[in-house]
């Protein structure tokens, strides 16, 4: 049997959007994030983070720092009884400053590279899966891979909703204020 997955954006969805997070002390969890993830775990969704981290290509921080952030988030979640099954990030950007990271990457959202990779690793049924985020890139990613798009109103989410074309708005599976709210809508026990 195939797995259902929740693909989560990181900044503005799990933790506060601070604009190129570059200090561990700036990590702040959004309300209901850990509780939501715990419920997704319990409902046997694979919980997979897919995050653009072009701050690496732009020279703001290293890939090592990105790993440290993910470790810190994992530690916090484990204290709350929740976990992330896999982390994928794209450190690239076509207009970066650091040459080895500066190209048009097929993993950068809304391109489907990270989700394609996850599907190979986890045997995922995309039509039964959700892509959750606060930006238009997350919503377009969902539509590009045939998963269900969910907009969170945290981070850039409120602005994103106002700017979304009407036809895309109509394709949203849900618009929610927190991951906990999403869990209450989709998790059955």
Contact positions vs Mg ion (CB under 5 A): 9, 11-12, 134-135, 155
Q: Of residues 9, 125, 134, 167, which has the active-site annotation?
A: 9
**Minimum distance of Zn ion from residue 56's CB (angstroms):** 9
Question: Among this protein's residues, is 11 annotated catalytic?
Answer: yes
DSSP 89-123: EE---TT-SSGGG-S--TTSTTSSHHHHHHHHHH-
Sign of CA dihedral 157, 154, 121, 42: negative
Question: Among this protein's residues, is 125 annotated catalytic?
Answer: no
Residue nearest to Zn ion (CB): 105
Sign of CA dihedral 136, 139, 144, 145: positive
Nearest residue to 22 (alpha-carbon basis) of 57, 62, 50: 62
- 159: which 2 tokens? 């602005």
**Minimum distance of Mg ion from residue 134's CB (angstroms):** 4
**Minimum distance of Mg ion from residue 49's CB (angstroms):** 11
Question: In terms of CB distance, is 47 or 90 closer to Zn ion?
Answer: 90
- 1: which 2 tokens? 């049997």
Using the rule CB under 5 A, give the single segment among 82-90, 147-155, 160-168, 175-183 that binds Zn ion: 82-90
**For the chain, how many helices (H) and strands (E)?**
7, 6
Cis amide leading into 41 (omega within 30): no
Spatial strand order of the sheet with 46-52 comes to 86-90, 46-52, 5-8, 130-133, 148-152, 174-176
Q: d(Cα 142, Cα 178) in Å, to the nearest integer?
A: 18
Residue from the set 47, 56, 90, 131 that interacts with Zn ion by CB under 5 A = 90
Q: Decide which of Zn ion, Mg ion, none touches 90; Cβ closer than 5 to 8 Å per partner kind.
A: Zn ion
User: Binding of Zn ion at residue 109 (CB under 5 A)?
Assistant: no
Residue from the set 10, 46, 92, 137 that interacts with Zn ion by CB under 5 A = 92
Question: In terms of CB distance, is 10 or 92 closer to Zn ion?
Answer: 92
**Minimum distance of Mg ion from residue 114's CB (angstroms):** 14
Binding residues for Zn ion (CB under 5 A):
90, 92, 105, 107
Question: Which residues are designated catalytic?
Answer: 9, 11
């Amino acid at each position: 049997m195939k797995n259902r997955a929740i693909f989560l954006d990181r900044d503005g969805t799990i933790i506060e959007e601070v604009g190129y997070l570059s200090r561990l002390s700036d990590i702040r969890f959004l309300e209901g994030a850990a509780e939501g993830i715990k419920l997704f775990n319990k409902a046997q969704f694979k919980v997979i983070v897919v995050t653009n981290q072009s701050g690496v290509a732009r020279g703001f921080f290293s890939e090592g720092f990105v790993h440290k952030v993910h470790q810190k988030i994992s530690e916090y979640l484990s204290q709350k009884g929740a976990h992330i099954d896999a982390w994928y990030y794209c450190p690239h950007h076509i207009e970066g400053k650091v040459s080895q990271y500066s190209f048009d990457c097929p993993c950068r959202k809304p391109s489907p590279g990270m989700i394609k990779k996850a599907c190979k690793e986890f045997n995922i049924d995309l039509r039964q899966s959700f892509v959750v985020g606060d930006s238009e890139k997350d919503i377009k990613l969902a539509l590009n891979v045939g998963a269900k798009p969910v907009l969170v109103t945290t981070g850039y989410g409120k602005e994103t909703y106002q700017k979304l074309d009407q036809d895309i708005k109509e394709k949203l599976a849900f618009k929610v204020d927190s991951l906990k709210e999403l869990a209450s809508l989709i998790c059955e026990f």
